[in-house]
A and B are shown apart, each in its own frame.
Chain A
């Protein structure tokens, strides 16, 4: 009984929130709340723009500005929030 349980994830019918990877979550979050759009408009490379976008997000949320998709940033992205974008283009 002390063996770790092996969880099986299933797709629940009617579930709007799908099981997404952290990267998918971050991409969607940065786009939805305006961070990526701003970067696209500046014409930077996509890889560069995501790092910049993450830094902007981390600054907005008072997190350490690493520009990386670290655990505190992922955790913050999973918090309930208002749907109004943080950054407007």
Chain B
């Protein structure tokens, strides 16, 4: 690793950041989440904390821009330069800029979040089948209002789950219209427009008026890109037009003809030779999370590493299951030191419990329901829990050394300190389950497992002791299956644990997608709740019934926690 000359670093650990604008490629909450996760990469290994500001000047100002975007280092169109950031300091120092001529995704193609419909904001499932035809993009088929939609499960006919895809007919972002939809036609400088336009702007962003007359009302917003929109060129945001003519030939799909760099492009009108309107075809895109984590490394004081596997290596490469390389950890800890251990336990409950009558109550170490840490810490504000599991018929949601409980009356209680209830556990729990026969609790963190029986603990033991492979980095989810069996999920596989013998049954591992069809194979949490199996990715869940059919996709926050 390398640091900048003079070991530039922040002189405080409570770093602030502000997101100044958004890319049209992904919905705002998905971008917010990618940035938050990118900061977490660094806060997990240092004493640094990151707080988001919504106005004013933050230490790290995050923005998207194209080509000349206001600093001396212009971007270069699609591919090539993806982003840059400045080392810590005042003014532009510490800021991170992302090239919006890139196609920003989570690294595996368009991320299309739905609106309205009946899928409660779930992501589109591509491909999906509608009336016997397979669709790999949003479609307006079956609708007369021109609104693009998609199914959120693989078979619309079977599941009837759908939502509307991002389009200017649904909403705008940034601007001054609070997300209102475009109004067509609208008037701008006396001209009438029937679609989003880049007229009047030098940065290439497409916009529209949200009333019928911009000149009069001055209300506007930026148009989200449809999933079929081209990237860059001179038609950003427009869909490909097939077939199109190019140098006299007709093309029914994207082509690299005419280009020396092999990139696929298409025309956005039927005749390129006549109209010269074109753009690059959508591809897998670049993971905003990975690029942001790299740039934030610069913003914290790390220069480029020469270790190819390190996050701070200058070249982009997509990794499915990211973990920070030791070189990056050593670099950032050289500047800021390691993350301190668990918070010290206060000498009495008085320090954490505001109830006056309990101030003199001696602290007991045997309690299984300690006083809440800080009731203002709201489970509804947590985007992604470390793990969720059912213990004594109550859902337990773990996050960063704390946990909340959802009672059988659907009340959220907590947070409680994990270390007060289960002192041997580390702050991050990957998965957990309760063996209903013995009432033992199994907790997994990294490559270690702890078994609690009441207040006594066995472990930590390595995963290999259970017969799990050495290559398994963590157990992402655990399902109690009754009769002394539990399923342990990791990567794209799962194993069946015989809880009595503490060994893995023969015939395992098995592939997740062979048995649990229709759920994300990269789920980071799997748990049982009210007879259903939940597979979580980010703040979404896929719910599977006893017949192993996905019968619902939704938000943990709203559907399970009943957050307002």
Contacts and interface: CB of A to CB of B under 8 A. Distances in A.
A84 B303 contact: yes
Interface in A7-57: 7-10, 12-17, 19, 33
B514 interface: no
Interface stretch (B76-84, B144-152, B331-339, B360-368): B76-84
Interface in B206-235: 232-234
A84 B298 contact: yes
Interface string B322-348: 000000000000000000000000000
A71 interface: no
B247 interface: yes
A9 B260 CA distance: 6
Interface residues of B, number: 41
Given A8-B247, A61-B315, A15 B258 contact: no
Contacts of A86: 304, 314
B258 A7 contact: yes
B44 to A, nearest CB: 21
B260 A80 contact: no
A86 B4 CA distance: 11
B111 to A, nearest CB: 18
Among B4, B306, B314, residue most surrounded by chain A Cβ atoms (within 10 Å): B314
Contacts of B258: 7-10, 12
A86 B298 CA distance: 12
Interface in B40-98: 67, 73, 75-85
Contacts of B76: 16-17
A37 to B, nearest CB: 14
B542 interface: no
Given A17-B80, A62-B308, A82-B84, A12 B315 contact: no
Contacts of A60: 304, 306, 314
Given A79-B315, A81-B316, A12 B278 contact: yes
B315 A84 contact: no
A79 B79 CA distance: 8
B261 interface: yes
B80 A12 contact: no
Nearest to A87: B304
Interface in A54-89: 59-62, 76, 78-84, 86, 88
Contacts of B232: 14-16
Contacts of B67: 16
Contacts of B84: 82-84
A79 B317 CA distance: 9
B547 interface: no
B13 interface: no
B265 A17 contact: no
Interface string B256-287: 01111100010000000000101000000010
Contacts of B294: 82
B234 A14 contact: yes
Contacts of A88: 4-5, 303
Contacts of A7: 257-258
Nearest to A79: B315
A69 B258 CA distance: 26
A89 to B, nearest CB: 10
B124 to A, nearest CB: 25
Nearest to B307: A62
Contacts of A76: 315
A12 B306 contact: no
B25 interface: no
B303 A83 contact: no
A12 B400 CA distance: 51
Contact of B73 (A17, A19, A80, A83): A83
B85 A84 contact: yes
Contact of B259 (A12, A13, A81, A83): A12
B416 to A, nearest CB: 41
A58 to B, nearest CB: 11
A59 B258 CA distance: 35
A82 B83 contact: yes
23 contacts: A7-B257, A9-B259, A12-B265, A13-B278, A14-B232, A14-B233, A15-B77, A16-B76, A16-B77, A16-B101, A17-B261, A19-B259, A19-B261, A33-B314, A59-B306, A60-B306, A76-B315, A78-B261, A79-B315, A81-B314, A84-B84, A84-B298, A88-B303
Interface of B: 4-5, 67, 73, 75-85, 99, 101, 232-234, 247, 257-261, 265, 276, 278, 286, 291, 294-295, 298, 303-304, 306, 308, 314-316
In the A-B complex, the 3 residue pairs with the smallest Cβ-Cβ separation, listed nearest first, are: A16-B77, A14-B234, A83-B84
Given A14-B232, A61-B308, A83-B99, 18 more contacts: A12-B259, A12-B278, A16-B76, A17-B76, A17-B77, A19-B261, A60-B314, A78-B261, A79-B315, A79-B316, A80-B81, A80-B286, A82-B81, A83-B81, A84-B298, A84-B303, A84-B314, A86-B314
